[in-house]
Structure 1
Amino acid sequence: MKIIKYLLISIIIFSCEENNLTKWVNYDESSELVESQENDNRRLRYQRIQSISKDKNQLIEGFEKEISKFIKNKYDSYRELILERSIPEIQKSITEGKLSYYDLTLFYLSRMYLIEFNDKLYLNSIISINKDVLEVAKERDKNSKGEINSIYGIPILLKDNIGFDKLPTTAGAFSLRDNLTENAFIVNRLEDEGAVILGKTNLSEWANYFCLGCPNGYSAMGGQTLNPYGRKILDTGGSSSGSGVATASNLSSVSLGSETSGSILSPSSSNSLVGMKPTIGHISRSGIVPISSTLDTAGPMTKFVIDNIIVYNSIIGFDNNDSYSKTTSSIDMEKVFNSSLKNKKLGYYSNYYKNDSIYKLNIDLLKNYGAELYELNPKSVQLNDFRKLLDEDMRRDLVSYLEDYGNTRLEVKDVASIIEFNSLDSIERSPYGQGIFRGILNNPFSDEELYALRESLLSSGNLYYDQSFEKYELDAVLSINNYGAGYAAAAHNPCLTVPMGFRKNNQPAGLTFIGKSGNEQILYELGYSFEKVSKKRKAPNN
Structure 2
Amino acid sequence: MKKLLLFLPLLFLACKSSDRSVQPAVNDFREFKVLDSNYLDKDQIFGDLLDEVVSFRESDKLKGLILEKSIPEIKEAIASGQFSCRDLTLFYLKRIYTYDRENPKSLNAVIAINPNALKQADAADQDLAYAKKKGEELAYYSIKGMPILLKDNIDTNDMPTTAGAAVLIKNTTAQNAQIVKNLRQEGAVILGKANLSEWAYFFCGDCPSGYSAVGGQTLNPYGRRSLDTGGSSSGSGVSVAANFAVAAIGSETSGSILSPSSQNSVVGYKPTTGTFSGVGIVPISSYLDTAGPMTKNVMDNAILAQALGAPYDVIDQYGINSFETASLKGVRFAVWTSFKENPLYAQALLDLEKSGAVLIEIDDTRPQLNGFLKLLNADMKKDLPAYFAGQANATYRGWDVAKVMEWNRKDSLKAMPYGQSLFQGIIDEPAISDADFREFKEAMTATAQEYFYNLIKEHDLNGFVSINNYTAGAAAAAFFPAMTVPMGYDDKGQPYGLTFIAPNEADQLLFNWAAAYEKITKHRVLPENYKN
Provide the rounded CA distance (Å) in 2 between the counterparts of 1:185 and 1:450. Answer: 27
* 2:487 corresponds to 1:487: no
* 2:258 corresponds to 1:274: no
Provide the rounded CA distance (Å) in 2 between the counterparts of 1:476 and 1:430. Answer: 41
5 Å-filtered alignment, 1:379-528, equals 379-410=365-396, 413-442=399-428, 443-528=430-515
**Residue of structure 1 in register with 2:141 after alignment:** 149
Letter in 2 for 1:287: G
Among candidates 217, 237, 251, match of residue 210 of structure 2: 217
**Residue of structure 2 in register with 1:231 after alignment:** 224
Deviation at 1:329, TM superposition (A): 4.6
Task: Return closer, same or farther for 1:201/1:109 CA change in 2, 3 Å cut-off.
Answer: same
**Residue of structure 2 in register with 1:58 after alignment:** 44
**Residue of structure 2 in register with 1:7 after alignment:** none
Provide the rounded CA distance (Å) in 2 between the counterparts of 1:149 and 1:209. Answer: 36
Letter in 2 for 1:177: I
Letter in 1 for 2:298: V
Deviation at 1:67, TM superposition (A): 2.2
- Cα deviations across residues 227-268 of structure 1 (Å, max 9, x unaligned)? 000011100000000000011000001000000000000000
* 2:92 corresponds to 1:103: no
Deviation at 1:63, TM superposition (A): 2.3
Letter in 1 for 2:471: G
**Residue of structure 1 in register with 2:162 after alignment:** 170
Runs of 5+ in structure 2 lacking a partner? 1-19, 132-137
5 Å-filtered alignment, 1:259-270, equals 259-270=252-263
The answer to whether the Cα contact below 8 Å between 2:101 and 2:108 also exists between their aligned partners in 1 is no
Provide the rounded CA distance (Å) in 2 between the counterparts of 1:299 and 1:372. Answer: 29
Provide the rounded CA distance (Å) in 1 between the counterparts of 2:286 and 2:394. Answer: 22
**Residue of structure 1 in register with 2:525 after alignment:** 538
- Cα deviations across residues 286-330 of structure 1 (Å, max 9, x unaligned)? 00000001100000000000000000011125xxxxxxxxx5454
Aligned-pair Cα RMSD in Å? 1.7
Identity of aligned residues (%): 45
The answer to whether the Cα contact below 8 Å between 1:123 and 1:231 also exists between their aligned partners in 2 is yes
Instruction: State TM-score, norm by structure 1.
Output: 0.89
Provide the rounded CA distance (Å) in 2 between the counterparts of 1:380 and 1:392. Answer: 23
Higher relative contact order (CA 8 A, sep 6+): 2
Provide the rounded CA distance (Å) in 2 between the counterparts of 1:193 and 1:417. Answer: 38
The answer to whether the Cα contact below 8 Å between 1:243 and 1:255 also exists between their aligned partners in 2 is yes
Runs of 5+ in structure 1 lacking a partner? 1-30, 318-326
**Residue of structure 2 in register with 1:193 after alignment:** 186
The answer to whether the Cα contact below 8 Å between 1:292 and 1:393 also exists between their aligned partners in 2 is yes
Task: Return closer, same or farther for 1:473/1:395 CA change in 2, 3 Å cut-off.
Answer: same
Task: Return closer, same or farther for 1:416/1:204 CA change in 2, 3 Å cut-off.
Answer: same
**Residue of structure 2 in register with 1:33 after alignment:** 22
Among candidates 274, 298, 303, match of residue 305 of structure 1: 298
Deviation at 1:378, TM superposition (A): 5.3
3-state SS of 1:49 partner: coil
Among candidates 158, 161, 171, match of residue 179 of structure 1: 171
Provide the rounded CA distance (Å) in 1 between the counterparts of 2:514 and 2:275. Answer: 19
User: What is the aligned residue count?
Assistant: 497
Q: Which has the greater radius of gyration?
A: 1
Task: Return closer, same or farther for 1:411/1:223 CA change in 2, 3 Å cut-off.
Answer: farther
Deviation at 1:60, TM superposition (A): 2.2
Instruction: State TM-score, norm by structure 2.
Output: 0.91
Provide the rounded CA distance (Å) in 2 between the counterparts of 1:330 and 1:348. Answer: 26
